Copies of this chain bind each other. A is one copy, B any other.
Amino acid sequence: MFKEKGYHATSVGDIIDGARIARGTFYLYFTSKREIFAALSAGFLAVIRGSVRKISLDPNEGEPLAQMRANFRRVIHTVLQHEDLATIVLRDDALDAEARAQLDLFYEQVIGLIGQAVRVGSRLGIARECDETIIAVSALGALKEILTRMLAGRRATSTAVPAPGAEASEPAAVTGGPDETAVASEVTPAPFADPDRLADELLRFFVRGVFTQDTR
């Protein structure tokens, strides 16, 4: 329910209807709507944490960039394995201060991890001079956005035949200028369909950027 309607639009009534249980049963297992959401979030965060490894300098562990690629791939696969939970966590709904703090902590950890990877790169002479916090935050943002759209794409695909009462079907049109709008028949799905390709593309972006020319 949370995945479909978000935290606020989902009522306890929706949940118990969906779960085919009585109101009291819900409160037998969760003390509040907030708690079930927090429990779901926490569960997912734990799983995701488990899918990320710190970059190691131990040569047995392989090259740092290979380790990073493995991390990306694992995260993406874990997200795909837990589409529902990933969706509600990425939606980043407000909730209360405690849940907020839990999520913030998680992202701070992710930023720390990415920062560490950059620092390792610097030490090895394979990363350029940069503000590692900004890089890490950017990488996190990029990853979140990619994952969000990957999940949105899958939802759009799987719900292709919308139940009566739904209101999907985005007006595909976009792109500023009237020049090359390309195919654009399906808005996002295509490039996000292959998880491993996604991981590689993302990694390449982090590693090499896009442009070959120097900035200054």
Which positions in A face B, CB cutoff 8 Å? Answer: 6-9, 54, 65, 69, 91-94, 97, 101, 104-105, 108-109, 111-113, 115-116, 118-119, 121, 125-128, 130-131, 133-135, 137-146, 148-149, 167, 170-171, 174-181, 187-188, 190-192, 197-198, 200-215
B212 touches A209 (CB 8 A): no
Report the nearest B residue to A63, measured CB to CB. Answer: B213
Residue pair B171, A128 in contact (C-beta under 8 Å): no
- Establish whether residues B175 and A65, one from each chain, have CB atoms under 8 Å apart when the complex forms: no
| Bound CA–CA A116/B182 (angstroms) | 11
- Taking a contact as CB atoms under 8 Å apart, the answer to whether A138 and B205 are in contact is yes
Residue of B139, B146, B175 touching A109 (CB-CB under 8 A): B175
A109, B38: Cα distance in complex, Å: 34
Residues of chain B within 8 A (CB-CB) of A97 are: 167
> Interface on chain A toward B: helix, strand, loop, or mixed SS?
helix
Nearest residue, chain B, Cβ from A122: B210
Q: Given contacts A92-B92, A94-B93, A207-B211, is CB(A138)–CB(B130) below 8 Å?
A: no
Shortest distance between the CB of A107 and any CB in chain B (Å): 9
Name, among A54, A97, A149, the residue most crowded by chain B CB atoms within 10 Å (CB to CB): A149
Q: Which residues of B contact A118 (CB under 8 A)?
A: 210
B209 A207 Cβ-Cβ under 8 A? yes
Contact, CB under 8 Å: B135 / A146:
no
